[in-house]
Amino acid sequence: MIKLLEARNVGKRFGGLTALSEVSLTINKGEVYGLIGPNGAGKTTFFNVLTGAYIPDDGEFVFNGIELPVGKPHLVVEAGIARTFQNIRLFSQMSALENVMAGHHIRTKANIWGILTQNKHTREEERLTTERAYELLKYVGIERFADTICKNLSYGDQRRLEIARALATEPQLLALDEPAAGMNATETSQLKVLIEQIRRDGVTVLLIEHDVKLVMGLCDRLSVLDFGKKIAEDVPAVVQKNEAVINAYLGGGKHE
């Protein structure tokens, strides 16, 4: 097992509220790793700290053996981590294709002079970006909507587009924040197929999800957060039987 991402004692406080406290976990290359927990447990905060949107108060992330930059989201993307959002955040006025192309921004090299002069390298790069964007739209199954302004896409297709945009950044770790939220059963099972495909293509997946069936079916290992603390980490079958987890979800035991 090769370590891809290691969180070391990550902590984040908002005023008096401790959103994350001493969260440590390790994600191995090639696995689908789940992060679950009741509402307000700190899952999304973990994502925000990981991707550089928030600055952690304690701890650090080590990605591929290198410490991730803090507070500079675009550098985290460059390092190879891409994410989607719990509530969809596409560039709503752009076409689906342009959204995906925007995701590819960090992997392109053309500079301002190249763009102003439209030299050969810039044009070639733009052509490849467009081609790649079409491929990704096809990959997630919405290539027929390439030129549709994305606010006009259906909810499920917008979620797929977010995944395509994230994949356009060429990530090694794809972080999905509740990708199945609001999806019906058919859409969820299609999503499951897509995530499995992504993993087969060599991208490690970090998944926050409420749909327990989806998580248990997809994840190789998972962590459970409750009140900002990690209370369990193991393969799904073991976590399911963990008493602390059952208490956290059913509200029994220690927090009463």
Partner 1 sequence: MDTLLQQLLNGLVVGSVYALVALGYTMVYGILGLINFAHGEVLMVGALTALTVITTLMGVSPDMPPLLLLGIGLLAAMVVCMIVAFLMERLAYRKLRNAPRLAPLITAIGVSFLLQTLAMIVWGRNYHTFPQLISTTPMQPIEGVYINPIQITTIVASAIIMVGLVLLVTRTKLGRAMRATAENHRVASLMGVDVNKIISLTFVLGAALAAVAGVLFASNYGIAHYAMGFMPGLKAFTAAVLGGIGNLGGAMLGGIVLGLVEAVGAGYIEHLTFGFLNSSYQDIFAFVILGIVLIFRPTGLLGERVSDRA
Interface ranges with partner 1 (CB under 8 A)? 51-53, 73-74, 77-78, 82-83, 85, 89, 91-94, 98, 101-108, 110, 112, 115-116, 122, 125-126, 129, 149, 165-166, 169
Please say which residue, 92 or 184, places its beta carbon nearer to partner 1: 92
CA-CA distance, 56 to 13, in Å (whole number)? 8
| Least distance CB 205 / partner 1 (angstroms) | 17
Across the chain, the runs of DSSP E, i.e. the strands, are: 3-14, 17-28, 32-36, 58-63, 66-67, 81-83, 173-177, 204-208, 221-226, 229-234
Please say which residue, 103 or 156, places its beta carbon nearer to partner 1: 103
Selection from 13, 37, 33 nearest residue 225 by Cα:
37
Please say which residue, 107 or 229, places its beta carbon nearer to partner 1: 107
| Least distance CB 106 / partner 1 (angstroms) | 3
CA-CA distance, 129 to 101, in Å (whole number)? 6
| Least distance CB 164 / partner 1 (angstroms) | 12
Structure tokens at 158: 């917008």
| Least distance CB 21 / partner 1 (angstroms) | 24
Please say which residue, 118 or 184, places its beta carbon nearer to partner 1: 118
Strand partners, 23: 10
CA-CA distance, 245 to 230, in Å (whole number)? 10
Please say which residue, 101 or 222, places its beta carbon nearer to partner 1: 101
| Least distance CB 245 / partner 1 (angstroms) | 30
